[in-house]
A and B are shown apart, each in its own frame.
Chain A
Amino acid sequence: MPAIPRNFVARLALFGIAWCIGLELLTRLFLVSPSNVVPDPTLGSKYAPNSTVLIETPDAGFLRVSFNEFGFNDGPLAPGDHRRRILVLGDSYVEAFQLPRTQNFLGIMGRDRPDLRFVNGARSGLDPVTESLMLEKLAPLIRPARVIILVNSGDPADMLADGITVRRCTGTQGICDYTLRPIPPLHRSRLAGLLSGRSALLTYLLRRFQQPIDTQWAHLRGRLSPNARPGAATRAPGAYAAKDFEPLLALVFRRIAQRYGLIVVAVPDLQFESAGRSAAADGGAFEKRVGAAALKAGAVFFDAGPALMSAYARSGQPPNGFAFRRPGTGHLNAEGHAAVAHGLERYLGAFGGAAAG
């Protein structure tokens, strides 16, 4: 082995510090900004209001996004704007970081219906339950005249992961209420949260390695204590289970519909084949369940599947997917947003005019 000079450690430390500073600068310039995630009492965390950050999305690469005063990917709500507001809830499908705002379905509908103000109230990782809880806090600030909620095929899994507790109605199989497991703000690691808010490099590395480390750790923990059952928590009394998807969705929809009027949009997973042929990935089961829940709740239901399939048949290009990932998977692209917008506009009908308040 080479002889180690006396000041080797000092040199190495200096080199390491200089290297990290250089990397931090490069990361801020080309990859991501320091995390703009801040604590939120309802959902644990949210994006900092009025922030602009460089983020990485798995399907579209590195993008610069500005958030409004509510921490959403939308422009500010002008106080003098008296148009009726339609609040659109959803997850990353609606948040649509991958597209300029003029190309997502809110932007397209806003152009086609200038009498309405479509407000993007979506955030990555949310699902109908967390969206409804967020709506309770948001509604007094935004005062929506109507709500659109977009449900996609990733939501059932998100709802399972959320730690929802349901209260079943006595004597029936129905669900009467639901609550979220209390989430302490940024509970995973306060230190990591604090540091990643200041360092772009740490933000990038945490986003890259946290999930695999957690997975490996859970795997190792399972090996070390084979008697512990990882699924035990979800089988606790009142825990939400997959079979509760439709009744819980119906309850969520009913609560929103009773107060604001609701349009439910289902975006199913599609499989694309050659020559413009496509089909629903699970034979249409997902959108049937969402549609049934919407019907029970008295909400308007729009299945985006046929519109997306006909967009594919027309153009030969899948309406979802971006250049970093396989076309036909993941988020809606410009084509998909246009298809959803044009389909959805028919359901808005004559609704519009000046705001009631």
Chain B
Amino acid sequence: MIFTSLPFVLFFSLLYLLLLATRNDIARRWILLLSSFFFYGYWNAWYLLLIWAVTGWSWIIGRYIANAASPQRKKWGVAAGVALSLVALAVFKYAGFFAGSILSPFGARPPSFLRDIVLPVGISFYTFHSISYYVDVYRRQVAPARSLRDYALYIAFFPQLVAGPIVRAAQFLPQLARPILLTGPNFAAGIRLVLAGAVQKLLLADQVSPFVDQVYAHPALYSGATEWLAALAYAMQIFGDFSGYSLMAIGLARILGFALPENFRMPYISMSVVEFWRRWHITLSFFLRDYLYIPLGGNRRGLVRTQLNVFVTMLLGGLWHGASWNFVLWGGLHGGAIVWNHLWERWPAPWLERQALWSFLRRPVCWALTFLFVILAWVPFRAVHFDTTMLLLERMWTLSDGVRWFHTPTVWTLAGFALWHIAYLCSFRSRLGNVLEERWIYALEAASLVTLLVMFAPLQSSPFIYFQF
């Protein structure tokens, strides 16, 4: 049941009407929790057993951490909780991959029970939620949830359950301390976000996905120029797909009276890879920073160790995305680029800043290099196999001959995407100021977005890319 499907629209409409009709706050919480379980079980009812297990043990361990007498015991509690969550993730997500990686040099395959493990949707996200809970309780950033129902709602809250944004316990649980309020302004703001997200998903990502899928499926067939276009299109596709999903999740939560954190902030205008990660999948970046990079030592142990911590964090961040060495490669590329970025800021940059020419060139050069790097780094992310990655990069580099295909919808969509970014850079929205808050502008915006969706959205939406992670 994906957000852009008819069953979900029916599900959410019924849920909202039911919540409106229910005045009792406790009843509203139960309705939200049960509907979240229904939403999750709609994929596969067996997955519910896993999410219930993760919820149960993390709630118990959270209470143990909060009530433990000594700091040592608290630490043990956190370690046990994190280990349990990671074991669940490792078994369901990585067991087959690691077994295959170890056995393949000997010409053997992993046993069938490992190969047949099905990745439960959203496991990467809700295990992170549980880890956030242990650590936030340990750091006293949030009080342990008193009610298992409220804690289960934090883990299973359906807008953010399957693909984020990654919500920390300290961000979500305090919202459950007050009654669930369904208000007009929240509804209007939420609808605006949902529509904007649907446009990003259906009119950006889904317009180009057939083209990208085709080119990546036949890397030797198409010309180098077509493969460049596909690389560019994939950058837009993954942004539209994931940012669109996140916006819809935030909007749906807002309609239900909850605030979820922002996940994307125009990442492709970044001037450096460091800035890119402050704009791309923000909740993951900050999660990795606070729950992995800082515990590894952060920047407190000298230059070399700091850069090593950055690299390891990004490597593991890459692996989190999927059980494939290509994701590790992608994470490693970004880790390497961030290290390079740090070193650049330390040595050549101060000297360059003093050169007159650099003040003119800095912004376009930094943007172009960052954008080019990000585009090229998406190639292994999308190609999945190492051989395909190398073939594609080689053909792009040599501008190989082959079938030329300049897919018109992709070119138009890319042009629209570029225009949108230019409008953002010109502060188009902020120049309009309060005009955007006028009711008639809201009506016009909503009608335009709905019209665009009705007229041009593909009738068969593809699944969200991040569901597989």
Are B221's CB and A317's CB within 8 A? no
A residues near B454, Cβ cutoff 8 Å: 205
The segment from B130-138, B328-336, B339-347, B401-409 that touches chain A is B401-409
Q: How far is the CB of A316 from chain B (nearest CB, A)?
A: 6
Are A23's CB and B407's CB within 8 A? no
Tell me whether A317 and B404 are in contact in the complex, defined as CB-CB below 8 angstroms, given that A1-B20, A2-B184, A273-B221 are known contacts: yes
* 17 A/B residue pairs, CB under 8 Å, sorted by A: A1-B20, A1-B182, A2-B185, A3-B184, A15-B443, A19-B451, A61-B408, A208-B459, A272-B221, A316-B402, A316-B403, A317-B403, A323-B408, A324-B408, A324-B409, A327-B403, A328-B403
Q: Is A140 an interface residue (CB 8 A)?
A: no
With A and B bound together, what is the CA distance between A290 and B408 in angstroms? Answer: 35
Can you list, as one digit per residue, whether each of B181-192 has a CB less than 8 Å from chain A (1) or not (0)? 010110110000
Q: How far is the CB of B310 from chain A (nearest CB, A)?
A: 40
Q: What are the 10 tightest A-B residue pairs by CB atom distance, in nearest-first order?
A: A2-B184, A274-B220, A323-B408, A274-B221, A327-B405, A327-B403, A324-B408, A1-B184, A212-B459, A326-B214
Are A19's CB and B447's CB within 8 A? yes
Are A272's CB and B408's CB within 8 A? no
Chain A residues with CB under 8 Å of chain B are 1-3, 15, 19, 23, 31, 61, 204-205, 208-209, 212, 272-274, 316-318, 323-324, 326-328
Of all chain A residues, the one with the shortest Cβ separation from B455 is A204
With A and B bound together, what is the CA distance between A327 and B215 in angstroms? Answer: 11
With A and B bound together, what is the CA distance between A354 and B435 in angstroms? Answer: 73
Can you list, as one digit per residue, whether each of B177-211 has a CB less than 8 Å from chain A (1) or not (0)? 00000101101100000000000000000000010
Are A23's CB and B405's CB within 8 A? no
Are B184's CB and A326's CB within 8 A? no
A residues near B210, Cβ cutoff 8 Å: 326
With A and B bound together, what is the CA distance between A326 and B218 in angstroms? Answer: 12
Q: How far is the CB of B113 from chain A (nearest CB, A)?
A: 36
With A and B bound together, what is the CA distance between A317 and B401 in angstroms? Answer: 10
Residue of B401, B406, B459 touching A316 (CB-CB under 8 A): B401
Q: How far is the CB of A207 from chain B (nearest CB, A)?
A: 12
Chain B residues with CB under 8 Å of chain A are 20, 182, 184-185, 187-188, 210, 214, 218, 220-221, 401-409, 443, 447, 451, 454-455, 459
B residues near A3, Cβ cutoff 8 Å: 184
With A and B bound together, what is the CA distance between A262 and B459 in angstroms? Answer: 42
A residues near B447, Cβ cutoff 8 Å: 15, 19
With A and B bound together, what is the CA distance between A323 and B408 in angstroms? Answer: 6
Residue of A15, A208, A318, A324 touching B403 (CB-CB under 8 A): A318
Of all chain B residues, the one with the shortest Cβ separation from A211 is B459
Are B187's CB and A323's CB within 8 A? no
With A and B bound together, what is the CA distance between A318 and B454 in angstroms? Answer: 33
With A and B bound together, what is the CA distance between A3 and B187 in angstroms? Answer: 13
Residue of B185, B188, B221, B405 touching A323 (CB-CB under 8 A): B405
Residue of A2, A204, A326 touching B188 (CB-CB under 8 A): A2
With A and B bound together, what is the CA distance between A224 and B338 in angstroms? Answer: 59
Are B402's CB and A274's CB within 8 A? yes
Contacts A274-B221, A317-B404 known; list 4 others, CB within 8 Å.
Answer: A1-B184, A19-B447, A316-B401, A327-B403
With A and B bound together, what is the CA distance between A182 and B351 in angstroms? Answer: 84
A residues near B455, Cβ cutoff 8 Å: 31, 204, 208
Of all chain A residues, the one with the shortest Cβ separation from B221 is A274
Q: How far is the CB of A196 from chain B (nearest CB, A)?
A: 16
Of all chain A residues, the one with the shortest Cβ separation from B439 is A2
Tell me whether A324 and B184 are in contact in the complex, defined as CB-CB below 8 angstroms, given that A272-B221, A274-B221, A316-B402 are known contacts: no
Q: How far is the CB of B403 from chain A (nearest CB, A)?
A: 5
Of all chain A residues, the one with the shortest Cβ separation from B412 is A61
A residues near B188, Cβ cutoff 8 Å: 2
Q: How far is the CB of B139 from chain A (nearest CB, A)?
A: 39
Q: How far is the CB of B71 from chain A (nearest CB, A)?
A: 49
B residues near A212, Cβ cutoff 8 Å: 459
With A and B bound together, what is the CA distance between A305 and B383 in angstroms? Answer: 33
